[in-house]
Structure 1
Amino acid sequence: MAHQLLRFAMYKDHPEPRMFNTPDELQDSYDVVIIGGGGHGLAAAYYLAKDHGITNVAVLEKGYIGGGNTGRNTTIVRSNYLTPEGVQFYDKSVRLFQDLSQDFDLNIFYSTRGHYTLAHTEGSLNTMRWRAEVNKHFDVDSEVVYPNEIRRDVPEMNLECGGEMPVMGALYHAPGAIARHDAVAWGYGKGASLRGAEIHQKTEVTGINIESGRVTGVETNRGTINTKKVLCAVAGFTPRLTEMAGFSTPIQIRPLQAAVSEPHKPWLDTIIVSGTLHTYINQSSRGELVMGSSLDPYELHSTRSSLDFTEGLIDNALDLFPFTSELKVVRQWAGMADITPDFAPIMGKTPVEGFYLDSGWGTWGFKATPVSGKTMSELVATDRVPELIEPFRLSRFTENRLMGERAAASVGH
């Protein structure tokens, strides 16, 4: 790397190619317009080109690439969900993640760590047993482990948790991993751009044009675009876009906060989650403790952070790892989580023909990035709903066919 920097950085004859294109102007029309330049939107553009040969695509991002929830999450990848539909969906995503560095020719720093979901009560331990059986049925590597096994693998953890909520066991998910979120977005953006898709940053959608129940275009702060297909993948801004399109969803938007500590000598090589303590922790390759908690308890379209979050998070983290009390929190932030009543996403067609929705990801959108791009691109290209995402259709809320993934959403919400 040092040699490459010395060789190329100082010479105009050897410019480093840009990660993705930045066209000066919008075209009048595109085959597909994707609203949202996060991981999901860029992945859809990538697979539209790679799998379906559709390259006349515009990705519109009101801010900058990966500046929304893609760059604000804690980068955990797993598939140890509760429902058969959720397990199969996320297992596909994990398998795609494992090949992304090779697909992109870009290191996304994918690191398999193992994932412990702690149980502090007999009831939660029974839920872990249930999840383990569902996982095993679909060949997903998960098993219930008990304090002696946890103590062996994570000797730094205080299994007594301050004496109030002792750890009784855990669901151990060996494929649990972390990845570099920015690299995932850049990799998809680069791959889509190389195949002909256009990526337009600082381009805000201000309206959706509809005629006779069908989308005909979008209005932006840079002009009108004609198109017959629009994919909305904007996470916390979903209600604003669906209002423009003339329909509603049961999504609520709540802040989800996270924080990192100062770097520390590596000691935690697994991912630790406690739904009871509303805490999850892993250690980055730079030595930082990456920590998160539950959603804020009120609806708010904002990415502000709060002292109350930090105090609650650190209090619970110290119950698990009291020796970290001298570490300093150096940064905290928030994303806008789009939560559905059944804690499962909304994917597929909408009441507006040609307007497709990829939303409702709440606390688990990053881990679904590859599979969402793969399935939504298939839907947009063929107008046929892939079997893998059919259960996540918007109409399930009026059909009373909710999914019920609350128990597997990492932390209690």
Structure 2
Amino acid sequence: MTDKKQPRTPGAELPDHPKFLWDSPEPKRSYDVVIVGGGGHGLATAHYLVKNHGITNVAVVERGWLAGGNMARNTTIIRSNYLWDESAGIYEHALKLWEGLEDDLEYPILFSQRGVLNLAHTLQDVRDSRRRVEANKLNGVDAEWVDAATVKEICPLVNISADIRYPVLGATYQPRAGIAKHDYVAWGFARKAAEAGVHLIQDTEVTGFLTDGDRVTGIRTNRGDIAAGRVALAAAGHTSVLTDSLGIRVPIQSHPLQALVSELLEPVHPTVVMSNAVHVYVSQAHKGELVMGAGVDSYNGYGQRGAFHIIERQMAAAVELFPVFARAHLLRTWAGIVDVTPDASPIVGVTPYENLFLNCGWGTGGFKATPGLGEAYAHTVATGEPHPLIAPFSLDRFVTGRLVDEHGAAAVAH
């Protein structure tokens, strides 16, 4: 376990970025590997293909701008305190990589290990929380159960009064958890990959695939065909649009997920607090704004905008837990697009088509998995065999019934 890092205060010195961190090359006619999707997962996969496997003839193809989708719209929470062994394995691996990622990328990511509290409000919450803590300990994940008084010590702003609608009975606490600056994470991966010769191709939409029987041999784009030895999908909620063209049924649904931030405040909120019962989570970003969110919208869609009734419920929940925030002003709101599977766990691995690899269904858990998934997915793409950490998340589990049901962990922020 590394020493707990202190969060940077608003106004702390940030890196002096050069005007351009990477080039925007014209696509070549062929690559050894083409990664579809230039978000955190696609960029991390490219980095580890270079670092761990020496594969540099790689293109990351993004229909918009790099990291402009969910990577730019998430709430940056990083934790590994998941119930099931399979989930704890990939997220704990990711957390260990997070702890050394600044040195690996030679780029600041403002990783702040300020801890995460998951509040319990009912006796069933308490039972479930204690069970998760013990499961975490068996998997080597730092986790502990704390009572309401200790919650107040860790985060003095939390209302632990007994006369509120959902009184706080305690919480799980993971000290090594925290947040990172999502833009810097993406820029760090992109810069490192580009330095190694990876082509980062923006404003290029993938419209289909080149095939030879049951083999994928490349992609079709609005800028022409590109041949590829292997194609790795990392397109999140738009994955099913692509796989449908090959007749591959991927059980994901896309939902908007809203979040919002307040005006800039002095450092007052020292950790991350999450609550399923009142359905909100709150942290304070490096500049000082409060970052708040809740669960996915109930309807399917690709909209990247908020709705007032969702915002109203989020604010009511936040003020119930943190009465001191009642006078804070809301600065802006937005939405991302999350891809949700029937068991609230991702789909990663091989497909019925040779040389085509799948990575989707992360719900709201994609950001925290970024380095761990990137390393495991790169291994899978490079070797053609699923990495042991992602083998349980294969597409065929929906046929065999070997599901990894993480709905309990995904109720607010997966």
TMscore range, shorter length: over 0.9
Give the secondary-structure state (helix, strand or coil) at the position aligned to 2:281: strand
For residues 287 and 168 of structure 2, the distance between their equivalents in structure 1, rounded to whole angstroms, comes to 28
For residues 162 and 53 of structure 2, the distance between their equivalents in structure 1, rounded to whole angstroms, comes to 52
For residues 278 and 165 of structure 1, the distance between their equivalents in structure 2, rounded to whole angstroms, comes to 11
Corresponding residue number in structure 2 for 1:334? 335
Corresponding residue number in structure 2 for 1:82? 83
Contact 2:267–2:284 under 8 Å retained in 1: yes
Q: What is the TM-score when the length of structure 1 is the normalising length?
A: 0.95
Contact 2:364–2:413 under 8 Å retained in 1: no
Give the secondary-structure state (helix, strand or coil) at the position aligned to 1:297: coil
- Structure 1 residues 156, 382: CA separation in 2 closer, same or farther (over 3 Å shift)? same
For residues 245 and 21 of structure 2, the distance between their equivalents in structure 1, rounded to whole angstroms, comes to 32
Corresponding residue number in structure 1 for 2:261? 260
Count of aligned pairs = 402
Shift of residue 359, structure 1, vs aligned partner: 0.5
Letter in structure 1 aligned against 2:230: K
Shift of residue 160, structure 1, vs aligned partner: 3.1
For residues 189 and 201 of structure 1, the distance between their equivalents in structure 2, rounded to whole angstroms, comes to 12
Show structure 1 runs of 5+ residues with no match.
10-15
Corresponding residue number in structure 1 for 2:108? 107
For residues 410 and 270 of structure 2, the distance between their equivalents in structure 1, rounded to whole angstroms, comes to 22
Corresponding residue number in structure 2 for 1:117? 118
Letter in structure 1 aligned against 2:34: V
Contact 1:161–1:320 under 8 Å retained in 2: no
Corresponding residue number in structure 2 for 1:50? 51
Shift of residue 394, structure 1, vs aligned partner: 0.4
Letter in structure 1 aligned against 2:23: N
Letter in structure 1 aligned against 2:22: F
For residues 162 and 229 of structure 1, the distance between their equivalents in structure 2, rounded to whole angstroms, comes to 59
Corresponding residue number in structure 2 for 1:278? 279
Give the secondary-structure state (helix, strand or coil) at the position aligned to 2:30: coil
Shift of residue 115, structure 1, vs aligned partner: 0.5
Letter in structure 2 aligned against 1:150: V
Corresponding residue number in structure 1 for 2:375? 374
In the TM superposition, what whole-angstrom CA distance separates every residue of 1:205-234 from its partner, at most 9, and x where no partner exists? 011122211101111010000113100001
For residues 157 and 380 of structure 1, the distance between their equivalents in structure 2, rounded to whole angstroms, comes to 45
For residues 162 and 303 of structure 1, the distance between their equivalents in structure 2, rounded to whole angstroms, comes to 37
Shift of residue 244, structure 1, vs aligned partner: 2.2
Give the secondary-structure state (helix, strand or coil) at the position aligned to 2:254: strand
In the TM superposition, what whole-angstrom CA distance separates every residue of 1:81-124 from its partner, at most 9, and x where no partner exists? 01011111100000101111111111100001110000111111
Letter in structure 2 aligned against 1:21: D
Contact 1:45–1:377 under 8 Å retained in 2: yes
For residues 403 and 161 of structure 1, the distance between their equivalents in structure 2, rounded to whole angstroms, comes to 36
Corresponding residue number in structure 1 for 2:22? 20
Show structure 2 runs of 5+ residues with no match.
1-11
Corresponding residue number in structure 1 for 2:41? 40
- Structure 1 residues 408, 359: CA separation in 2 closer, same or farther (over 3 Å shift)? same
Contact 1:276–1:411 under 8 Å retained in 2: no
Letter in structure 1 aligned against 2:24: T
Corresponding residue number in structure 2 for 1:134? 135
Give the secondary-structure state (helix, strand or coil) at the position aligned to 2:229: coil
Give the secondary-structure state (helix, strand or coil) at the position aligned to 2:176: coil
For residues 59 and 191 of structure 1, the distance between their equivalents in structure 2, rounded to whole angstroms, comes to 13
Shift of residue 162, structure 1, vs aligned partner: 6.2
For residues 67 and 135 of structure 2, the distance between their equivalents in structure 1, rounded to whole angstroms, comes to 33
Contact 1:274–1:410 under 8 Å retained in 2: no
Shift of residue 301, structure 1, vs aligned partner: 1.9
For residues 327 and 177 of structure 1, the distance between their equivalents in structure 2, rounded to whole angstroms, comes to 23
% identity of equivalent residues? 44
Give the secondary-structure state (helix, strand or coil) at the position aligned to 2:118: strand
Contact 1:261–1:330 under 8 Å retained in 2: yes
Corresponding residue number in structure 2 for 1:193? 194
Shift of residue 18, structure 1, vs aligned partner: 2.7
In the TM superposition, what whole-angstrom CA distance separates every residue of 1:267-319 from its partner, at most 9, and x where no partner exists? 11110000111100001121110000111011112212111111010000000
Give the secondary-structure state (helix, strand or coil) at the position aligned to 1:123: helix
After the TM superposition, list the runs of 4 or more consecutive aligned residues in structure 1 that deviate by more than 6 angstroms. Answer: none
- Structure 1 residues 408, 184: CA separation in 2 closer, same or farther (over 3 Å shift)? same
Contact 2:260–2:293 under 8 Å retained in 1: yes
- Structure 1 residues 281, 412: CA separation in 2 closer, same or farther (over 3 Å shift)? closer
Letter in structure 1 aligned against 2:21: M
Corresponding residue number in structure 2 for 1:65? 66
Letter in structure 2 aligned against 1:223: G
Across the aligned residues of Structure 1 and Structure 2, the Cα RMSD in angstroms comes to 1.7
Q: What is the TM-score when the length of structure 2 is the normalising length?
A: 0.94
- Structure 1 residues 259, 412: CA separation in 2 closer, same or farther (over 3 Å shift)? closer
For residues 182 and 209 of structure 1, the distance between their equivalents in structure 2, rounded to whole angstroms, comes to 33
- The answer to whether 1:153 aligns with 2:161 is no
For residues 183 and 358 of structure 1, the distance between their equivalents in structure 2, rounded to whole angstroms, comes to 22
Give the secondary-structure state (helix, strand or coil) at the position aligned to 2:31: coil
Give the secondary-structure state (helix, strand or coil) at the position aligned to 1:312: helix
Contact 1:276–1:412 under 8 Å retained in 2: no
Give the secondary-structure state (helix, strand or coil) at the position aligned to 1:111: coil
Corresponding residue number in structure 1 for 2:223? 222
Deviates more, 1:237-246 or 1:334-343: 237-246
Corresponding residue number in structure 2 for 1:13? none
Give the secondary-structure state (helix, strand or coil) at the position aligned to 1:217: strand
Shift of residue 410, structure 1, vs aligned partner: 5.3
For residues 246 and 35 of structure 2, the distance between their equivalents in structure 1, rounded to whole angstroms, comes to 14
Corresponding residue number in structure 2 for 1:12? none
